[in-house]
Chains A and B, each alone.
Chain A
Amino acid sequence: MSRWNPVRAALCLSAAALCAPVHAVDFSVRVDNLTNGIYFTPLLVAAHSEGSRLFAAGEAASPSLQAMAEGGDISGLAGDLAAISATVVENPAGGLLAPAQNTTAALNTDGTDNVRLSVVAMMLPTNDGFIGLNAVEIPTAAGTYVWNVSAYDAGTEANDEVVNGGGAPGVAGIPAAPGGSGSGASGAAPSDSNTTVHIHRGALGDTDATGGVSDLDARVHRWLNPVARITVTVN
């Protein structure tokens, strides 16, 4: 047990606070898809050390983050996390997490200094949109803690909203639209103005299933933040 610091404890009660006690914990991470028509690709749930992170808003995406955001491939990030002895659960949903569905991962950080939690997954159908819980402090007191999670844009690919199977890093287009989409779009956008990781400006879409600028349906594939809810239960 570490010392009980009243000032730090007070700050930890605020959702806006950053603070850094170190404890081993046994906890679960539930991810709820809050969107109307967006699927999450295989989730990566990781507890890792203070000072490490998978991405930072305002900084360029790493190649591993880009591969996740553009194609749903979490193997690069999982390798990066293994290299820093993180506690990782890959793909707890066993595939896609559909709208209104949830999944839960169990983690135990006993014997580690993995005090921060990150959760990422690509959003389909988008070009390089992803959900990101970014290195939040893992609570140490038994209880239930909730974070609302925003959609980020990796900044690495134009949001052309053309569903063409393009999922490899640097390849234009959206790899798949699990719930269906239009076709024949001319392209909704050139490259992002902000090529660092940033809050996603949202899907544009249109209502033309066989043409228009976007293969996405503006009535189905738009969202507003938050797009996911993450519930940590400390046992």
Chain B
Amino acid sequence: MSTYEISVTNLTNAQPLSPPVVMLHDGDYRIFTLGQPAGAGLEVLAEGGDAQPLLDEALAADSVSQAVAFDAPIPPGAQAQVSVTISDNARADLRVSVATMLVNTNDAFTALNGLPEVGVLAPGQMLEASTPAYDAGTEADDEAPGSIPGPADGGEGFNAARDDDADRVAMHSGVLTAMDALPTSVLTEQHRFDNPVARIQVRRVN
């Protein structure tokens, strides 16, 4: 058995990260493909911060050896970690993926989409990546009252309608906020962000 510790640091000013989902998998799994529609589990995570459907999808996939969700959100400036244990024969082509919502947005998330070379880490060695904000493309970025689940609004999270939007995953273009170009936004200038929004470290424990 081999144990890996996956740690996530929130680099934003005012975007709590929803409890991240972590998957250890081979080269046949990915959370999303840029330019293609988000899967149902990713849509729920990106709109509402609910990790469970994406976690369930991953656990059901043959190419995923283990998947877990963090038990709490990660506030700005904070770091949290989980440990995941897999069998030694799962190490051959091991990759790590992580996904979490920026909760003071309509449907922004950050993700590590299949970090390679995890399988060659020796005990004690670590890989590190900085991750950008993506737009799930499943909800209009209207920043409207009632549409954002984070503390800035306390609004609705997931809604199955893929309304008024591209229905494809893209790099996020950032939030407008009420102090900038969108007077009806529930967000303030504090909620703006630039990339990277998270730092993810993968350390092999043993």
Which residues of A come within 8 Å of B, CB atoms?
Answer: 7, 10-11, 14, 16-19, 57-58, 150-151, 153, 155, 188-189, 192-196, 198-202, 204, 213, 224-225
Interface pair B179/A201, CB less than 8 Å apart: no
The number of A-B residue pairs with CB atoms under 8 Å apart is 93
* 20 A–B contacts, CB within 8 A, in A order: A11-B120, A14-B127, A16-B115, A16-B128, A16-B129, A17-B127, A17-B128, A18-B126, A18-B127, A19-B125, A58-B10, A58-B11, A150-B194, A151-B194, A192-B190, A193-B190, A195-B77, A199-B11, A199-B12, A201-B12
Determine which of A14, A57, A192 lies in contact with B199 in the assembled complex, contact meaning CB atoms within 8 Å: A57
Chain B residues, CB < 8 A from A57:
9, 11, 77, 199
The answer to whether the Cβ of B37 comes within 8 Å of any Cβ in the partner chain is no
Chain B residues, CB < 8 A from A200:
194
* A57-B199, A58-B79, A196-B77 as given contacts; A11 in contact with B127, CB under 8 Å: yes
Interface pair B13/A198, CB less than 8 Å apart: yes
Interface pair A7/B120, CB less than 8 Å apart: yes
Chain A residues, CB < 8 A from B195:
150, 199, 224-225
Determine which of A150, A153, A155, A192 lies in contact with B196 in the assembled complex, contact meaning CB atoms within 8 Å: A150
* A16-B127, A193-B14, A195-B77 as given contacts; A201 in contact with B120, CB under 8 Å: no
The answer to whether the Cβ of B71 comes within 8 Å of any Cβ in the partner chain is no
Interface pair A7/B77, CB less than 8 Å apart: no
Interface pair A201/B127, CB less than 8 Å apart: no
Closest 5 CB pairs of A and B: A193-B14, A194-B76, A196-B77, A201-B192, A199-B11
Chain A residues, CB < 8 A from B76:
193-194, 198
Interface pair B13/A153, CB less than 8 Å apart: yes
Closest to B195 in A: A225
Determine which of A11, A193, A204, A225 lies in contact with B194 in the assembled complex, contact meaning CB atoms within 8 Å: A225
Q: Give the interface centre of B76, B121, B128 by most chain A CB atoms within 10 Å.
A: B76
Chain B residues, CB < 8 A from A213:
179
Shortest Cβ distance from residue A9 to the other chain B in the assembled complex, whole angstroms: 11
Query: From residue 167 to 206 of chain B, which have CB atoms closer than 8 A to chain A?
Result: 174, 179-180, 189-197, 199
